[in-house]
A = this chain, B = another copy of it.
Amino acid sequence: MSALILALDATSRNEALAIAESTARYIDAIKIGYPLVLGAGLSVAGEIAALGVPVIADFKVADIPNTNTLICDSVFQAGCSAVICHAFPGSDSLAACVGSAHDHGGECFVVCEMSHPGGAEWFSGGVAESFCMMAAGAGADGIIAPATRPARVAALRELIGTRKIYSPGVGAQGASPEDVKELVDGIIVGRAIYGAADPAAAAAEYSRRCR
């Protein structure tokens, strides 16, 4: 079984809050990204967290260490519980994200392999495995690995041990909860819930399938 994480990629504040409220009882966390935050402002994170659902800032932080620190500090000050960052800007940039997360009592997740077709171009050939080891070495709380490629998730699970794996790609990108629910700690579903005619019913159904 796995937790269910809603990728809330609505672009307006009102729509996002309405979906968050109607689905909150069925989900374990809400992941927000820049498409929402650029429209609604970062304060939307606190408004969602006030519903009692932990908020994960999927900002794929990928800058120099000083900038990463500033971004992550903003994330946690806004009420988020976790941040997602990239590994390829290097171990110093990654350490800045983990440091900010832990300074604020939050978690940091590292993208080890992306779920879309282009994600196979540069994260393949051992790169995802290296990122996984970087994540462990930096003291990150977990990694992001693609439900669209369960064999890759299994390979990364071997490396990451008991740290958490959150897995996107379920729903619109084609994967099913059953593909990875025994391998991962959290399954991330976006459009298949927030874009459903009845988001609450879709969340309830995905929640059942994650158990």
Q: Determine whether A116 belongs to the interface, using a CB cutoff of 8 Å to chain B.
A: yes
Q: What distance in Å separates the Cβ of A202 from its nearest Cβ neighbour in chain B?
A: 19
Q: Which residues of B contact A117 (CB under 8 A)?
A: 90, 92
Q: Are A39 and B89 in contact (CB under 8 A)?
A: no
In the complex, are the beta carbons of B92 and A116 less than 8 A apart?
A: yes
User: Could you tell me if A70 and B116 are in contact, using CB atoms closer than 8 angstroms?
Assistant: no
The 8 nearest A-B residue pairs measured at CB: A90-B118, A35-B70, A92-B118, A90-B121, A64-B116, A38-B74, A88-B122, A62-B62
Interface residues on chain A, number (Cβ under 8 Å):
41
Q: Which residue of B lies closest to A172 (CB)?
A: B66
Query: How many copies, total?
Result: 2
Give chain A interface residues in 55-76, CB to chain B under 8 Å: 59-60, 62-65, 67, 70-71, 74-75
Q: Is the CB of A120 within 8 A of B90?
A: yes
Contact of A86 among B35, B62, B78 (CB under 8 A): B62
A-B contact pairs, 30 of them (CB 8 A): A9-B67, A9-B70, A34-B59, A34-B63, A34-B70, A34-B71, A35-B70, A35-B71, A35-B74, A38-B71, A41-B41, A62-B86, A64-B114, A64-B116, A65-B118, A86-B88, A87-B122, A88-B88, A88-B123, A89-B119, A89-B122, A90-B114, A90-B118, A90-B120, A90-B121, A91-B118, A92-B116, A92-B117, A93-B116, A94-B118
